[in-house]
Amino acid sequence: MGVRANSRPGTRQPFTGMRRALAVGALSVLGAVTAFAAVSGPADAAASTLGAAAAQSGRYFGTAISASKLGDSQYTTIANREFNMITAENEMKIDATEPNRGQFNFTNGDRIYNWAVQNGKQVRGHTLAWHQQQPGWMQSLSGSSLRQAMIDHINGVMSHYKGKIAYWDVVNEAFDDSNGGRRDSNLQRTGNDWIEVAFRTARAADPAAKLCYNDYNIDNWSWAKTQGVYNMVRDFKSRGVPIDCVGLQSHFNSQSAYNSNYRTTISSFAALGVDVAITELDIQGGSAQTYANVTNDCLAVPRCVGITVWGVRDSDSWLGANTSPLLFDSSGNKKAAYTSVLNALNAAPPVSPSPSPSVSPSQSPSQSPSQSPSQSPSQSPSQSPSQSPSAEPGGCSATMRTVNSWPGGFQSEVTVTAGSAPVNGWTVNWTWPGGQSISSLWNGQQTVSGSNVTVRNAPYNGSISAGGSTTLGFTGNGSAATPSVTCTSP
Ligand code: G3I
């Protein structure tokens, strides 16, 4: 793929759609994903991989993965070692998943999903509604038939991955590059409400997934496009349109350069009550200092939940290897930028039990923090959750259920429920009955002592409204078990 100068407002070049025909088929999908940030290991030990280092502060570090490279052992070795959140670079997009109307194809999406889950990783879904990479049949639709096709597509893809995707990029790149308004597209021409319809459809299709708006050139707080997206998210939150997160793609180059107001952008979105994720990071030229700045800006905002780089090695980048945009060179060696990111992650202050409010710039309206809905995927009859005494007023209760299991491993979810009063900080505890161990945990901070496991809330999910709930998840080694779980809150 040739090098493309990335986007200055108004200059971004569209890609042509994927030409590859995908065989229809369905893989059995192993594992399930219900939440996000992996957490493992003590916070005071320097971690040696990006994922483990990010987990120390309750965050994830991810990469885009291409299904066509899963046979490249250097690629998979690095990806497996370093990253704990995976985005399919192209394989879950509209043209890949619904090449013919009503005929869904998850062959390559499932290859990536299964690789990720079998290696203990979470998955970001990318993307459901976008003006690019639409299959030909969709490009030719308009008006109400296109609107219906969008809804059907969201339902078709999200039902396939129901309960398995941590975050979905529901809508991608819907804003104009320069004027702060909506981009003209066939989707936009179906009516200005298409984005909120997409989000409402997505919430109904998979209540467990966090729903994100994702875009490029919304990194610089002073740009009109950033303000346009910010105003949309503020409007959605005020009207109850279900949006949980904003993805800052963060493709940085000389025309769309990192700016020191990036932290303000992150904290401003977070102050609206949404998670913020850096979803497609690459930096042309590969400046180690800029990579450190980006990492530190995310670490400074509690609701910045993780960073995803858009590819593993420079040679894997959509920008071409000669722009040196990623953290590993084309031979798989760690670059200076890698070391600066790792050091920044390792220098992050450990997570505290009570979330501190994110910085709210003067432009931000006063909003209550975290408004994420309590989300708990439906339980199948085969799963027997552990019992927990009902919560005292002001206290909390917790149950564990097995989400999935396979020979030698399993994935579980713990639901923490507040009693009749809000909870501000929680700790759950259980004892493994048969030598089980946790390989990766998200949405909490774990301490392990022999067979006893204690998990405190992550910085962003300590507050639970009265009667509300939140979940943490983990993958484990051994036979699936559902020991009883105790919950305490200060
Ligand atoms: O696989 C075919 C190959 O068989 C064929 O010979 C070749 C000919 O052009 O095309 C190959 O497909 C390409 C595909 O990437 C895989 O490499 C497509 O043409 C090309 O359009 C596609 O580009 C992708 C692009 O999105 C499409 O918009 C990039 O890989 C992908 O990195 C890029 O990702 C986007 C995010 O989804 C959204 N944000 C911006 C980001 C960068 O543009």
Average pLDDT over residues 176-198: 97
Mean pLDDT, rounded, of the chain: 84
pLDDT tens per residue, range 265-319 = 999 999 999 999 999 999 999 999 999 999 999 999 999 999 999 999 999 999 9
Dihedral pair phi/psi, residue 61, rounded to 5°: -130, 120
Amino acid identity, residue 127? T
pLDDT of residue 409: 80
Which of 11, 12, 18 should be mutated for ligand 1, with most atoms under 8 A from CB?
18
pLDDT of residue 467: 84
Confidence label for 249 from pLDDT (cuts 50, 70 and 90): very high
**Does the predicted TM-score (pTM) go above 0.85?**
no
Which of 16, 87, 89 should be mutated for ligand 1, with most atoms under 8 A from CB?
89
pLDDT of residue 468: 83
pLDDT tens per residue, range 394-436 = 689 999 988 777 778 887 889 999 888 889 899 999 999 999 9
Which of 318, 323, 326 should be mutated for ligand 1, with most atoms under 8 A from CB?
318
CA nearest ligand 1 atom 13, residue = 18
What is the C-alpha R_g of the chain?
A: 21
The catalytic residues are: 280
- 15 Cα to the center of ligand 1, angstroms: 7
Ligand 1: does its nearest atom lie under 6 Å from the Cβ of 7?
no
pLDDT tens per residue, range 442-476 = 778 889 899 999 999 987 788 888 888 888 888 88
Whether the ω angle into residue 295 lies within 30 degrees of 0, i.e. cis, is no
- 62 Cα to the center of ligand 1, angstroms: 19
Ligand 1: does its nearest atom lie under 6 Å from the Cβ of 20?
yes
Contact yes or no for 232/240 (Cβ under 8 A): no
Distance between CA 292 and CA 290 in Å, rounded? 5
Hey, what's the torsion of the CAs at 463, 196, 168, 292, to 10 degrees? Answer: -70
Position in ligand 1 atom list of the atom nearest CA 172: 38
Ligand 1: does its nearest atom lie under 6 Å from the Cβ of 16?
yes
- 19 Cα to the center of ligand 1, angstroms: 9
Taking each helix axis from N to C end, the angle separating 143-160 and 194-205, rounded to the nearest 10 degrees, works out to: 30
Ligand 1: does its nearest atom lie under 6 Å from the Cβ of 133?
yes
pLDDT tens per residue, range 13-25 = 322 222 222 222 2
For residue 30, CA distances in Å to 39, 114, 403, 407 come to 21, 6, 10, 11
Lowest mean pLDDT among 42-51, 53-62, 81-90: 42-51
Contact yes or no for 57/299 (Cβ under 8 A): yes
The maximal CA–CA distance of the chain, rounded, in angstroms, is 61
Instruction: Give which of 357, 355, 490 is closest to 427, Cα–Cα.
Output: 490
Instruction: Give which of 397, 310, 446, 372 is closest to 166, Cα–Cα.
Output: 372
Confidence label for 44 from pLDDT (cuts 50, 70 and 90): low
Sign of torsion, CA 245 487 351 58?
Answer: negative
Three-state SS at 388 = coil
Cβ neighbours of residue 173 closer than 8 Å, sequence gap 6 or more: 130, 131, 132, 183, 214, 215, 216
Lowest mean pLDDT among 109-123, 221-235, 391-405: 391-405
- 45 Cα to the center of ligand 1, angstroms: 39
pLDDT of residue 393: 57
SS3 string, the chain, reads CCCCCCCCCCCCCCCCCCCCCCCCCCCCCCCCCCCCCEECCCCCCCCCCHHHHHHCCCCEEEEEECHHHCCCHHHHHHHHHHCCEEEECCCCCHHHHCCECCECCCHHHHHHHHHHHHCCCEEEEEEEEECCCCCHHHHCCCHHHHHHHHHHHHHHHHHHCCCCCCEEEEEECCECCCCCCECCCCCHHHCCCHHHHHHHHHHHHCCCCEEEEEECCCCCCCCHHHHHHHHHHHHHHHHCCCCCEEEECCEECCCCCCCCCHHHHHHHHHHCCCEEEEEEEEECCCCHHHHHHHHHHHHCCCCEEEEEECCCEHHHCCCCHHHCCCCECCCCCECHHHHHHHHHHHCCCCCCCCCCCCCCCCCCCCCCCCCCCCCCCCCCCCCCCCCCCCCCCCCEEEEEEEEEEECCEEEEEEEEEECCCCEECCEEEEECCCCCEEEEEECEEEEEECCEEEEEECCCCCEECCCCEEEEEEEEECCCCCCCEEEECC
- 318 Cα to the center of ligand 1, angstroms: 7
Distance between CA 94 and CA 213 in Å, rounded? 16
Distance between CA 79 and CA 328 in Å, rounded? 10
pLDDT higher than 80, residue 212: yes
Name the helix (H) or strand (E) containing 266: helix 262-271
Instruction: Give which of 165, 171, 18, 24 is closest to 104, Cα–Cα.
Output: 24
